[in-house]
Structure 1
């Protein structure tokens, strides 16, 4: 039986986590012990203490040395994450003490990337030594990272969560959507298109149940058209653009901000199709009752100001 969390927290130590990572890297108890500054008997004792604290064995002995079992792989993965988090802690403390401004972790959905990068660029003019991590993913994944404390803020939608009360949010932008394609798409020269004109082409879309995918499905339904069967599903902007570049007959649905950016640099063209549906606003999201760091507060001000200047909505 797995011990209670309080028991695990009271019995595990950072040096033991370092030993787990070293064992995974080295595969040898002797080499792992040397790496973390222990004797082999000391490392063997420490491993037994770790397994006792967690209530299960983590490694199996083979002719090649110690190999993690399934639970061991899981524990090692989290040990690496904890080491990374402590490294980030040290980095942020050093930045604050040296007057550099610390560290900021921001999550964003694809459609908000232009707004996020604009706000960050202005923030970096004020805090040039600030360390920044940007994670682009789906709203669901970003909210999970926010829950885990791995993001300070996220620009996404809380409507996909079953627990929206866990978050505080500011409506930022009523997202406009555009259908894009390679500039050599057969219909790129047309002055006006209907959805039926594109029904037979292969679409690059978000995964099922994501807000942008649901909107596109609604467009097809209201037009009395069958939703395309042969899809390319991805949440990656780069993958979407690469597919459009390599396949001149594909089409994709992107936020207008992203579509205009890509078209400005000749990566895509915006097809003349007027969508009937409106996408729900995305939000600047933080955990409820969480006190933001000074740099996270500064980013919030920059981002909200940028959105307001472009017609976004405020609380």
Structure 2
């Protein structure tokens, strides 16, 4: 039976977490002890104390040395997160003491990447010592990271949450979609203007229940067309672009701004197929959460970029 949280918190030491990471990286008590500048008996004793504190064996001996078991890998993962958070804490404290800099963690969905890119570029011009961590993912995953305190703000759709009222919307932006193909796709030579002209081709689409997938499905229903069978599903921008390069006969849907950005580099061509706008995305934070100074500055930059886009 695992000890209580209070028991673990009162007995576990940061130095012990560092030892676990060293053991994972080197697979040897001797090498881990050298790295930690302690004796091998000291490292053995420390590992025993950790396992006693957690009430579980974390490593097993093998021909490759000490190897973490399932519980060990779990503990090591959190050890890395704890030490990483301490490093971020120090960065934030330095930023506060110096009146600038610090750390900012931002989440973003694919369609808002160009917007965030411009906002971050502007922010860096006035805050060159600011450390910025950006996570691109789906709205659901970004909101989960926001709930855990891993993100300061996120640009996503809070409506996917079962409790959207737990977030405050700091800014909002509408989103248009584009049907895109490889520049050598046959449809670029016949100027297709309707979904009916796209039948017979394979598609790369967003996973089910995501806003862009829902919008595309609705467009096919309104045109009285069957939704493309056997599509490739992915929420990754890079994967979508890579698939289009690998198979020039594929079609895909992506946010208009992302499509325009990709067109600049000759990666795709947009087809003049009219699609409805998807649900707007928002810059959100946790309700009643006090934003850091860097987060507040980012909010202003994002709002400014949004005004330029709408203008």
Tell me if TM exceeds 0.5.
yes
Matched, 1:230 2:200: no
1:192 shift after superposition:
4.2
Q: Classify 1:170/1:94 alpha carbon distance in 2 versus 1 (closer, same or farther; 3 Å).
A: closer
Looking at structure 1, the residues matched to 36 and 246 of structure 2 have their Cα atoms a distance apart, in angstroms, of 49
1:5 shift after superposition:
2.3
1:270 corresponds to which residue?
270
1:215 corresponds to which residue?
215
2:19 corresponds to which residue?
19
Matched, 1:103 2:103: yes
1:165 shift after superposition:
2.9
CA deviations 1:44-78 (Å, max 9, x no partner) are: 22222222222221111234322111111111111
CA deviations 1:96-139 (Å, max 9, x no partner) are: 33344211111111100111011111111111221111111111
Looking at structure 1, the residues matched to 210 and 264 of structure 2 have their Cα atoms a distance apart, in angstroms, of 27
1:229 shift after superposition:
2.2
Looking at structure 2, the residues matched to 10 and 226 of structure 1 have their Cα atoms a distance apart, in angstroms, of 61
Q: CA RMSD in A?
A: 1.8
Looking at structure 1, the residues matched to 281 and 2 of structure 2 have their Cα atoms a distance apart, in angstroms, of 40
* 4+ long deviations beyond 4 Å: none
SS at match of 1:3: coil
Between the two proteins, the alignment pairs up a number of residues equal to 311
Of the structure 1 ranges 22-31 and 44-53, higher mean CA displacement relative to structure 2 is found in 44-53
Looking at structure 1, the residues matched to 4 and 197 of structure 2 have their Cα atoms a distance apart, in angstroms, of 60
How do 1:75-86 residues align onto structure 2 when only pairs under 5 Å count? Answer: 75-86=75-86
2:240 corresponds to which residue?
240
The 8 Å contact of residues 170 and 299 in structure 2, kept in 1 or not, is answered as: no
1:66 corresponds to which residue?
66
1:150 corresponds to which residue?
150
Looking at structure 1, the residues matched to 15 and 133 of structure 2 have their Cα atoms a distance apart, in angstroms, of 27
The 8 Å contact of residues 188 and 271 in structure 2, kept in 1 or not, is answered as: yes
Looking at structure 1, the residues matched to 98 and 205 of structure 2 have their Cα atoms a distance apart, in angstroms, of 45
SS at match of 1:187: helix
Matched, 1:183 2:183: yes
The 8 Å contact of residues 199 and 227 in structure 1, kept in 2 or not, is answered as: no
Where structure 1 has 5 or more consecutive residues not aligned to the other structure, the ranges are none
2:249 corresponds to which residue?
249
Where structure 2 has 5 or more consecutive residues not aligned to the other structure, the ranges are none
CA deviations 1:177-224 (Å, max 9, x no partner) are: 111111111111334422122232111122222221222222223323
TM-score (structure 2 length as normaliser): 0.94
